[in-house]
Structure 1
Amino acid sequence: MSTLKNILTTFAMLLIPLTTYATQVIDETPWPLATLLTPKSLSNVAVERRPLFVIAFVHDDVHETTISSLFSHHLVPLIKELQETTGRKVSVRLVRDEPPYTNYAYKGASQTSYDGWRELGTHYRDKNNLPVNRTTKFILLTKDYMNDETAGLAVSGQQFAIASLVHKQVVGHEIGHLLDAQHELSEERFYGWICETFMIPKVNPLKGNCEVFTDPNRSRINAYLANVP
C-alpha cells in the first residue's frame, strides 16, 4: 500500500505544478473578543453555544454555473466538518449584487487586496450592527486568484478573508485561518487516492480534498473558541 501511495504522489507532483495559497499578510488588529463563561453562568442554566456565522460575499465576477454548485462543492463539506469539530451550528449567508462589496477590485498585491477588503468588511459589519467576535466571519468569494500565486487571503484569528473558488479547498482553508488553524498542522492522507486536508499550504489539483481538518488543527480551532459562549 505504501509503495502505491508513493507512486501516486510522485505521479501527481510531476503532472501538475503546486499552486501556492500565499496567505501571509499582516493584520495587527487584536483578535475579536472572546466572552468568558463564569462558573456561575454555567451552574444553573444550560448554555447553548453560539453558532458560527459566516457572511459570504459572492463577487460579481463569479459565473452563475459556479454559484449553482457553491454550497455543494465549497460550503457543505466545510459546514459538516466545522459542526463536527466544534459542536456548534454553522450558518452561512450569501450576499450578492451589493456593491461596493461584491464588485471589490480584489486583484493585486496580497497585502493591498487584504487591507482593502478588511476596510470594506468592517464598513459592512458596523453598518449592519454585526458583532466583533470570534464566531462571526466575513469572506469574499471570487472567480480568480488575487495574483499569480495567491488563491486566498486571511490572517489567523481575524474576521476577514478572501477565497477564490478555483479549488474546492480554498474556502475551508481561509475560514480555517480565521479560526486559528495552521498550515504546519495539515497533512496528506490516502484513502485509495491521495487527498489533502483543508490547511495544506499548497494545492495539487490532481489530488483529492479530504474535506477535514487534522486533529491538531481541530484542537486549535476549539482552543480559539474555548471562551466563547
Structure 2
Amino acid sequence: MNFSPLIRRSLIWLPCAAFVGLPAVSFAQDKNANALRDIVSLFDEAVAAGLPRTLGVPVASAGVARKVNLGDLVIETSLEVDVVFPGEAPGTMYAATWQGSPAVVTRSGEHLDISIPGKDGVVVTGFVTGSAEPHTYIGGETEHSSERADPVAQATTGAKVASSMVPSPRYPDDELTFYLFPHDDTRNTDPHDIHAGFVAWWLADLRRVLIGEPVHLLYSGSVRGVTDISYGTRNVLIDWSDAVHAYAQVEGLPYEKHSWRHKYFLITKALPYHGVAGVSWQGGIEGIGSIRGPYPTFAHEFGHMLGATHADADTGFNGWICETNMLDVHSLLRSNCYTYSPANQRTIREIYRNGSSPIPKEHSLSLLRDMPVD
C-alpha cells in the first residue's frame, strides 16, 4: 500500500472542516449541464473568464450508487507557483473552496485535482480531460506491482547519471526551487496523486509564509543513478546527497554553496529505513520522504530543509486542537494545523532571505529521526 489511509481519492468522502471563501460570481448558468461536460475544460474556461469564479462540479452522493450531484467549487485566486510534472508544461495551483471547505486546486496536463485538508486527513477529488466523473480509485499500487517484487533490492547504485532527464524549465539560482524525484519503486503511483495528497496543501501554505516570492516545484521522471538508488539503511541520506551532487554536476544545477534556495527531495515507496518516514539535513538541501508515512511527512522534512525546528513547533486551534508541521510528539487526539508555527515561519523567512548554515553531516543524523512509523 502506497498511501497513508488518511489520503484517499473517493466519490463519497466529504470534507470535514468549515471555512468562509472569498466572494465569487457564478460561472455556469445551468449547473446541471455541468454533470455531462468535461470538467477540466469547464475549469479552464472559468479561470480564463477571471477570478473569483464559482463552478458546479459533480460529486457522488454517499449511499446512492451512480447518482451525481453538484458541489460548488469556488476558484478564489492563483497561488502563482509553477508545478512541473514529467513531460508536461508548467501547471498552476489555486486557492479554492470546495463544498464550503478550504481547498487547493492543481491544474496540470490532463489533470485537475482538488485537495481538501481536513481534521481527519487530506481528501482528494480528481478529474481528467474529457470526463465529468471524479476519480473513483484509491491512489497507490495496481495489480501490476508484482512485476517488480523488490524494487529497492534490485536498484543499481553507482550508475552513470542520465543527462537526458533534465527538469524543465530551468529557474534562476536565487529562486526557491524544489526538485522532487519519485523513486522507481513508485512507478505505479501517478506523481499527480502524490502531489495532491502530500504536497499541494503544504505548498499553498508556503505561499502564505513567503508572500510574493517565486516558488517552483519540479517532478522528474526516471533518472538513472538518482531515482534507482538503494535505500533502507541509516546511511540513506548520505547516499542520496552523493547521488544528488553527481546529478547536479552533470546537469549544471545549483548545489550547496551555489544556492541554498534549490532543494532536492527523494520520494520513496517504502520507509527510508526502519521506523522512519522521512529524513533531511537541518537547513540543508537534501531530504527523503516516504508515501507510506503520514500526510504531513513531506511538509515536516521540507520544513527542516528550510530551517524550521522541532523546538519552535507548537500546537494551535483550527476548530480543534491541532499540531503544526514540525511538532515531533504526536497525539491521536490532535488534528493537523496544516501550517508552521509563527516562530518557524519567521525562521523560514529569515533563512530564505539570508541563507542557512547546514549542520555538518557527521553530526546531523541523530536529529533526523522524524515522523516515526510503526
State whether TM-score is above 0.5. yes
CA contact (8 A) 1:54 1:136 kept: yes
Secondary structure at 2:274 match in 1: coil
CA contact (8 A) 2:232 2:274 kept: no
Distance 1:75-1:82 versus aligned 2 partners, 3 A rule = same
Distance 1:127-1:167 versus aligned 2 partners, 3 A rule = same
CA distance in 2, matches of 1:63, 1:188: 36
CA distance in 2, matches of 1:82, 1:50: 17
Q: CA deviation at 1:141?
A: 0.7
Q: Which amino acid aligns with 1:104?
A: I
Distance 1:204-1:106 versus aligned 2 partners, 3 A rule = farther
Q: CA deviation at 1:135?
A: 0.9
The equivalent of 2:302 in structure 1 is: 175
Q: Gaps (5+ residues) in structure 2? A: 1-172, 356-374
Count of aligned residue pairs for this structure pair: 180
CA contact (8 A) 1:196 1:207 kept: yes
Equivalent of residue 213 in structure 1, options 340, 350, 368: 340
CA distance in 2, matches of 1:104, 1:212: 31
Matched, 1:120 2:243: yes
The equivalent of 2:259 in structure 1 is: 133
Higher helix share: 1
Distance 1:194-1:104 versus aligned 2 partners, 3 A rule = farther
The equivalent of 2:180 in structure 1 is: 56
The equivalent of 1:84 in structure 2 is: 208
Q: Gaps (5+ residues) in structure 1? A: 1-48
CA contact (8 A) 2:191 2:219 kept: no
Higher strand share: 2
CA distance in 1, matches of 2:177, 2:332: 29
CA distance in 1, matches of 2:265, 2:333: 26
Q: CA deviation at 1:51?
A: 3.1
Distance 1:141-1:203 versus aligned 2 partners, 3 A rule = farther
Give the share of equivalent positions with the same residue, in percent. Answer: 25
CA distance in 2, matches of 1:190, 1:73: 22
The equivalent of 2:114 in structure 1 is: none
CA distance in 2, matches of 1:199, 1:173: 5
Question: Which structure would you say has the larger RCO, counting Cα contacts within 8 Å and 6 or more residues apart?
Answer: 1
Matched, 1:152 2:258: no
Equivalent of residue 198 in structure 1, options 316, 325, 333: 325
Is the deviation greater in 215-224 or in 184-193? 184-193
What TM-score, normalized by structure 1, do the two folds share?
A: 0.71
What TM-score, normalized by structure 2, do the two folds share?
A: 0.45
What's the Cα RMSD here?
Answer: 2.4
Q: Which amino acid aligns with 2:246?
A: H
